[in-house]
Amino acid sequence: MPRPILATIHQQALRHNLARVRRAAPDAKVWAVVKANAYGHGIERVFDALRGADGFALLDLHEAQRVRDLGWRGPILLLEGVFEPRDLELCSRLELWHTIHCDEQIDMLAAHKTLKSHRVFLKMNSGMNRLGFAPDRYRAAWTRLNALPQADEITLMTHFSDADGARGIAHQLRAFEAVAGDLPGERTLSNSAATLRHAGLQSDWIRPGIAVYGSAPDFPEHDIAHWELEPTMTLASRLLAVQRLQPGDTVGYGSSFTADGPITIGVVACGYADGYPRHCSTGTPVLVEGVRTRLVGRVSMDMLAVDLTPVPQARFGSEVTLWGRASGGAVLAIDEVAYAAGTLGYELMCALAPRVPTQVD
């Protein structure tokens, strides 16, 4: 028998979350962002649930080929554009739209021999300081692109650094509008946080990523219940053993947990080799038989321990939900586990280990 650990991808939750972000921007078209193998969920596992989107956005050509192989004939956007000239040949063949964020990419497109012009997304660096043309160079880049026969329609694009926090988007939006306000073409501005927190923002295309996968983009200020999102990935396992400790007994490597009284713990078939974060410490929430309890001691490669005090009926084989939805319906948001590890739900989704079997419900 295989180890009793299983990841489940919830297609109905994906559909629900996609509909939720649509309601936040009812006049916009929606990119379903499936980069990083659909945030660790698997492109093939999420495709049917997300094909109600207007397009798929991703990073690399291999992922684009996979989406086309699944039968998608609509728009596909390369969020970072091309990396070398020959990539443009595949863009032509697969009819990919692609981002232009630097002079080198314009140079490559200018030299590209094609019978069919490309739909491009010209990115402004309005303050994120990753990719894009600085505001004072943006119009020149647009003018150069607009003169190329290889370029068809130009969509105007930027990315917000603080849509999930107090600083907000106003400073970047001002920088964008000051330069691009009178340029023709559609716009794509809003990520998950901007879509949910700044719902009045006019964006012809929205780019929701993490919200579609059931994680709150501004946790802990707001959780998924606040945004009416549902978990799309459940990581579940079972108890391998039950241990009864006496005062002074310790748990796991480094003896980081010491019992201050009699306590029963359960040993779970899950560890950092499965993608559960090693940095989670005593107190990290866990569900046992749908009852909320806590992790105790240090996470090992293949096992971790949980406090069974709130669930005294637990025994060998009892269900443990590390994140997601328990079989009885109780929910432990991935954000809570990530927060305990000092990281984000994004990382936990993407870090799910290949050795964990995965099913689609």
Q: Among 29, 35, 339, 346, which one carries the catalytic annotation? A: 35
Assigned token pair, 317: 């084989």
Cα(222)–Cα(211) distance, rounded to whole angstroms? 12
Tokens 């109600």 belong to: 52
Per the annotation, the verdict on 29 as an active-site residue is no
Establish how many alpha carbons lie within 13 A of residue 335's alpha carbon, considering only the half-sphere containing its beta carbon. Answer: 21
Tokens 């040993």 belong to: 267
Q: How far apart are the first and last CA of the chain?
A: 21
Contact 258/282 with Cβ under 8 angstroms? Answer: no
Which residues are CB-contacts of 222 (< 8 A; sequence separation ≥ 6)? 216
- Burial environment of residue 111 by CB neighbours within 10 A (0 to 12, 13 to 18, 19 or more): exposed
In 3-state terms, what secondary structure has residue 195? helix
Q: Among 113, 116, 213, 253, which one carries the catalytic annotation? A: 253
Contact 312/264 with Cβ under 8 angstroms? Answer: yes
Pick from 9, 13, 14: nearest CA to 40: 9
Tokens 């849509």 belong to: 163
User: Strand pairing partners for 234?
Assistant: 8
Q: Which parts of 67-186 are beta strand (E)? A: 76-78, 97-100, 118-124, 151-158
Assigned token pair, 30: 């929606």
Bridge pairing between strands 319-325 and 233-245: antiparallel
- State the amino acid at position 197 in one-letter form: R
Per the annotation, the verdict on 253 as an active-site residue is yes
- State the amino acid at position 163 in one-letter form: A
Contact 333/215 with Cβ under 8 angstroms? Answer: yes
Chain-centroid distance, C-alpha 248: 42
Catalytic residues, which ones?
Answer: 35, 253
